[in-house]
Chains A and B, each alone.
Chain A
Amino acid sequence: MITIRKANDRGHADHGWLNTWHTFSFASYFDPAHMGFRSLRVINDDRVAPGKGFGAHGHRDMEIISYVLEGSLAHKDSMGESHIIGPNTIQAMSAGTGIVHSEFNPSPKEPVHFLQIWIEPAVEDVKPSYHQLSFEPQEKRGKLRMLAAPYGDGAEANGAALIHQDARVWASELGAGESLTQTIAPGRFGYVQVARGNVLLNGQKLGEGDGASISAESALTLAGEGSDGGEFILFDLA
C-alpha cells in the first residue's frame, strides 16, 4: 500500500527568515494523524534566508540528518564540530545523551534549501557523534546513493553516515525516463520524499515536496517524470 502525502497538505510555517514545510508534526504544527512513520519522526523542508538560521539549541536521543539541496548551511556543535555543508553532502548527528548546536545560512545573498530528517534511535543515551560525507553528483544519478545506514551494516564502506536505528536512507536523481527498482523485504516499510522535480512511484505521480509511505510492497519502481525528472530521498524502515 502506498499512501501519498501531498506537499501542500504538510504543516507549513513562514516566519519570513524561515519558510518550512513539515511532513510530520513539528514545532507549532501538530496533527495526531501525522506524528511520524515507523522510526521516521521528522522531514522538514526548510528554506532559510541569507544570514539567518537556528541559534544554539539542544537535542537528545535523535538521529538528525541534514541534506542540502541548494545553498549552504553552517553547522556548529558542542562536540567541537564546525562545518559548512552544501549539496551532495550527508550530515548526520547522533544526539544521544545530549548536544547543543546551531545552524545558520552563512551566505549574505543566497537562501539555503535543505531537508532535515529525524530518525528515532533504537537505543537511548548513546555517546553523541557526528558524521559528514561528501559524494560526487553522478553517484546519485540514475541510481541510489546511500546517505545513512545502521552501525554494522557496512555503511562506512558505502560512504554513508552511521545511525543507531534499523533504517537506511538513500538519495537519487532520475532524469526523464530514467528508472530504478528497489526491493523491500517482507515486513519492512518505506518512505519516499520528493526533494525536487517529479517522479513516478510504482506508476503514481509524485511532485516536488510530495511524500509517500509504503507498507506491504515488495518492490518499488521509481522513474523520473516530466521533462526534467526529479530527485528524491528513499527510506527503508523496520
Chain B
Amino acid sequence: MQDVNVVIVFYSRTGTTEKMALAAAVGAVQAKANIRLRRIPETASDETIASVPGWKENHDRMSWEYIAPREADAAWAEGLVVAIPGWMNLSSPEVKRCLDTLTEGKIAAAIGPEGLDRALMAAGLIVEPLATGVDAAECARLAGFRVAEAARAARR
C-alpha cells in the first residue's frame, strides 16, 4: 500500500480541538498516511489570552510544539483535515487563516462548526462526510482515516 500525505490543520485555545486534531492524525496514521500537524497561530491579544483559564499555558505549549502551516505543506498534502472549535464563527480571522492554507481539489474533512464543510467545498475541496453515532474523538479519528483512504484512492 502506497503512503499518502495528510496534513491536519487546527486551531485550538485550551487544547480541546488539539485533541481532536491528534485523534485525526492517529486515524490517518492507522490508514498508513504520512502526517503533518499544523496549528493556526493565535491572533488574540495577550490580555485576552490571559483572561481565559487554561488558554495561556496551552497557547505557550502549543506555540512550542507546533509550527504554522506553510506553503510547502499545502503542496505536500494529498488529504487535509481541518479542525477548529465548534463554537467559532466561520468569518473569524482564525478560520479565514485556516481556509487560506488550503489548496483546491484536495480531499478533506471538516471538524468544527456547522457550515465548515460547505466553506471547504466553496474553497474547492472534496469533503468527506463525518461519521455519526460516535463520540467526538472517534469521529475525528475516523475523519483522519477516511481522508487518508480517499486521498489514496483518488491517486489511482
Q: Residues of A with Cβ closer than 8 Å to B?
A: 51, 55-60, 76, 78, 97-100, 102, 104
Chain A residues near B37: list those with CB within 8 A. 55-57, 100
B35 at the interface (CB under 8 A from A): yes
A100/B25 in contact, CB under 8 A: yes
Number of B positions contacting A (CB below 8 A): 18
Q: How far is the CB of A72 from chain B (nearest CB, A)?
A: 15
A100/B65 in contact, CB under 8 A: no
Task: Tell me, in angstroms, the Cα distance from A97 to B23 when the chains sit together.
Answer: 13
B30 at the interface (CB under 8 A from A): yes
Q: Which of A51, A55, A100, A102 has the most chain B CB within a 10 Å cutoff?
A: A100
Chain A residues near B23: list those with CB within 8 A. 78
A100/B35 in contact, CB under 8 A: yes
B30/A78 in contact, CB under 8 A: no
Chain B residues near A56: list those with CB within 8 A. 22, 25, 35, 37, 65-66
B35/A58 in contact, CB under 8 A: yes
A55/B22 in contact, CB under 8 A: no
Chain A residues near B35: list those with CB within 8 A. 56-58, 100
B29 at the interface (CB under 8 A from A): yes
B151 at the interface (CB under 8 A from A): no
Chain B residues near A58: list those with CB within 8 A. 25-26, 28-29, 33-35
Chain B residues near A104: list those with CB within 8 A. 64-65
B33/A55 in contact, CB under 8 A: no
Nearest CB in chain A to that of B18: its residue: A56
Chain B residues near A59: list those with CB within 8 A. 29
Nearest CB in chain B to that of A78: its residue: B26
Contacting residues of chain B (102-124) with chain A, CB-CB under 8 angstroms: none
Contacts A57-B35, A58-B35, A60-B32 given; does A99 touch B66 at CB 8 Å? no
Given contacts A55-B65, A56-B25, A99-B26, 19 further A-B contacts (CB under 8 A): A51-B64, A55-B66, A56-B22, A56-B35, A56-B37, A56-B65, A58-B25, A58-B29, A58-B33, A58-B34, A58-B35, A60-B30, A78-B22, A78-B23, A78-B25, A78-B26, A97-B30, A99-B29, A102-B65
Q: How far is the CB of A63 from chain B (nearest CB, A)?
A: 16
Task: Tell me, in angstroms, the Cα distance from A57 to B27 when the chains sit together.
Answer: 12
Nearest CB in chain A to that of B25: its residue: A100
A-B contact count (CB 8 A): 46
Nearest CB in chain A to that of B21: its residue: A56
Chain A residues near B67: list those with CB within 8 A. 55
B26/A100 in contact, CB under 8 A: yes
Q: How far is the CB of A83 from chain B (nearest CB, A)?
A: 15
Nearest CB in chain B to that of A102: its residue: B65
Q: How far is the CB of B72 from chain A (nearest CB, A)?
A: 15
Task: Tell me, in angstroms, the Cα distance from A58 to B25 when the chains sit together.
Answer: 7
Q: How far is the CB of A64 from chain B (nearest CB, A)?
A: 13
Task: Tell me, in angstroms, the Cα distance from A51 to B60 when the chains sit together.
Answer: 13
Task: Tell me, in angstroms, the Cα distance from A104 to B28 when the chains sit together.
Answer: 23
B66/A98 in contact, CB under 8 A: no
Chain B residues near A78: list those with CB within 8 A. 22-23, 25-26
Task: Tell me, in angstroms, the Cα distance from A57 to B7 when the chains sit together.
Answer: 11
Task: List 25 contacting pairs A-B, 8 Å CB cutoff, sorted by A.
Answer: A51-B64, A55-B65, A55-B66, A56-B22, A56-B25, A56-B37, A56-B66, A57-B35, A58-B26, A58-B34, A58-B35, A60-B32, A76-B65, A78-B22, A78-B25, A78-B26, A97-B30, A98-B26, A98-B27, A98-B29, A98-B30, A99-B29, A100-B37, A102-B65, A104-B64
Q: Which 9 A-B pairs have the closest CB atoms?
A: A58-B29, A98-B29, A98-B30, A56-B37, A100-B25, A58-B35, A78-B26, A100-B26, A97-B30
